[in-house]
Amino acid sequence: MIREQFRSIYGRAPDIVARAPGRIEFIGNHTDYNGGAVLGASIDRVVEVALAARPDDVWQFASDGRPDLISLPAGEAEKQAGASAWVNYPLGVLASLPGFGRLPPGGFDFLATSNLPIGAGLSSSAAIELASALAFLEAAGQALPRPQLVELARHAENQFVGVPCGILDQGVSGFGRANHLVYIDCRGPRFELVPLPAGAHFWIFNTHTRHALVDGLYAARHRECMEAARALGVPLLADVSAEMLAAGAALLEEAPLRRARHVVEEIARVEAAVRALRAGDLAAVGALLTASHRSSRVLFENSTAELDFLADHLAASPHVFGARLTGGGFGGAVMALTDGAFDEAQARAVAATYEAEFGVAPAILHARTADGATLVPVAGR
């Protein structure tokens, strides 16, 4: 429990506890920063943050993943490097608060814990940003409407951490609800809950692989998409129809054209998935997931041999509706949408086949939908 861990580190109980879930990118790969639509699910794996006020002007940070305390003067949110780089996520929130009309709290002790697997594409970064934001606002006696809270967390990641992500990660973690998916029209952004049909299950297979240049590759894909939009004379690729893209294909270099085609077709797949979900047609949803992965592999080129192997084997397995990479790609995890008959034994069989091919077994996570970011009641308050 985070309260006991906090007490063991700081010698007292926390005043505030907040939690935020990780998320599955259900479908809508790299559509968010292109102004398109995306579907995600908040899951039952979380980052928790505990906070207690200090009498001095010191911000002190700890996490269950790092044994050393990080102490900084309150009000000095300077980017950290090396083993301390994890603290850039809460620091980014603190640095972003004034831009949203809110003040950071004074001195505090801070602890973050997580049962989210790191590097699996489940967005532990958005989870710690949102949990931290809720805790910092509560400590300072302030609040933000949920849409602005989500934007605050995204701003922290874009402007302070330096990752040019869209609103997917923070939006799903912030607006999630059990037994639902979160639909985001990223241009607004506009958030809507879509009921998940009964009997649907998520299985995550984490390859433990990560391309050494993943940050640069993500930024390159972002740049190529923006180049394609400019060449087609629109602000974002969400403004491009399939017909417009076909008519303007000669204006684009090969790589931007492939990225644009993926995004335009992926946005259409998101809308088709919403219709299929509302109709309870999980077979149709699964076919869209599998098509999404193939597009990521061929057109967006953000898949890997490991991800392709898992997606192909899962999509061909009994009781699996469809499978695709989840998250930014270039390593990470594959998500399978299954019925209730897909079980641990079948998941282990897929993992064994993967291990025979690549020499290491993927981690398996049977995830369920869960509610979004929230403050957690603290005894005695």
CATH number at 304 reads 3.30.70.890
- pLDDT for 324 beyond 90: yes
Q: Which pair of structure tokens corresponds to residue 328?
A: 């930014």
Are residue 212 and residue 340 in the same domain, yes or no? yes
Domain boundary among 144, 165, 195: 195
**Pairing relationship of beta strands 108-114 and 58-63 according to DSSP bridges:** parallel
When the pLDDT of each residue in the chain is averaged and rounded to a whole number, the result is 94
Quick check: 24 and 108 in contact, CB under 8 A?
Answer: no
**pLDDT for the residue numbered 76:** 86
Catalytic: 109? no
Chosen domain end from 172, 195, 218: 195
Regarding whether 231 and 119 lie in a shared domain, the answer is no
- pLDDT higher than 80, residue 55: yes
Lowest mean pLDDT among 61-65, 278-282, 284-288: 61-65
Backbone angles phi, psi at 179, to 5 degrees: 65, 25
The average pLDDT across 123-139 equals 96
Is 105 domain-assigned?
yes
Interior angle at CA 319, CA 316 and CA 273, nearest 5: 85
- Same-domain status, 217 and 316: yes
pLDDT at 1: 87
117 falls in which pLDDT band (50, 70, 90)?
A: confident
Cα(285)–Cα(277) distance, integer angstroms: 7
Same domain? For 126 and 225 the reply is: no
**pLDDT score for 118:** 66
16/150 same-domain check: yes
Pair (217, 352) in one structural domain? yes
Average pLDDT on 202-225 reads: 84
Residue 380 has a pLDDT of: 57
On whether both 22 and 141 belong to a single domain, the answer is yes
pLDDT for residue 73: 95
User: Could you tell me which residue, 98 or 66, shows the higher pLDDT?
Assistant: 98
Indicate the angle between helix axes 305-315 and 344-358, nearest 10 degrees: 140
Assess whether pLDDT exceeds 70 at residue 119: no
In this predicted structure, the answer to whether residue 325 has a pLDDT above a threshold of 80 is yes
pTM for the model: 0.91
Q: Give the chain's domain count.
A: 2
Please say if the pLDDT value at position 71 is more than 70.
yes
381: in domain:
no
Q: What CATH number does the domain containing 127 carry? A: 3.30.230.10
- Is residue 373 in a domain? no
Separation in Å, CA 45 to CA 10, 21, 105: 25, 6, 27
Positive/negative CA dihedral, 279, 280, 281, 287: positive
pLDDT of res. 120: 62
Catalytic residue, candidates 32, 57, 169, 343: 169
Reported as a pLDDT band with limits 50, 70 and 90, residue 208 is: confident
Question: What confidence category does residue 131 fall into, taking pLDDT thresholds of 50, 70 and 90?
Answer: very high
Q: What sign results for the dihedral spanned by CA atoms 266, 268, 274, 275? A: negative
End position of a domain, from candidates 162, 195, 228? 195
* Same domain membership, residue 269 and residue 329: yes
Domain that holds residue 304: 201-367
Is the preceding peptide bond at 189 cis, omega within 30 degrees of 0? yes
Co-location of 139 and 87 in the same domain: yes
Is residue 379 domain-resident?
Answer: no
User: How deeply is 233 buried, as exposed, middle or buried, from its count of CB atoms within 10 A (0-12, 13-18, 19+)?
Assistant: exposed
Task: Tell me, yes or no, whether 380 lies in a domain.
Answer: no
303-324 mean pLDDT: 97
Q: SS3 letters for 329-371?
A: CCEEEEEEEECCCCCHHHHHHHHHHHHHHHCCCCEEEEECECC
3-state secondary structure of 46: strand
Who's near 100: CB < 8 A, 6+ residues apart? 144, 148, 151, 152, 155
> Measured between alpha carbons, how far is 144 from 273 in angstroms, rounded to an integer?
31
Query: Cα dist. 205→24, 36, 59, 119 in Å?
Result: 12, 27, 37, 12
Note whether 224 and 249 are same-domain residues: yes
| Within a domain: 116 | yes
Measured in residues, the chain has a length of 381
In the chain the beta strands, taken as DSSP E runs, fall at: 16-27, 37-53, 58-63, 66-73, 108-114, 180-185, 190-195, 201-210, 320-326, 331-338, 363-367, 374-376
Same domain? For 121 and 233 the reply is no
Confidence check: pLDDT of 154 > 60: yes
CA 245 vs. chain centroid, Å, equals: 29
Report if residue 124 sits inside a domain: yes
- Tell me, yes or no, whether 89 lies in a domain: yes
**Beta carbons of 19 and 47 less than 8 angstroms apart:** yes
Q: Which pLDDT score is estimated for 110? A: 98
d(CA 106, CA 129): 18
Q: Are residues 190 and 223 in the same domain?
A: no
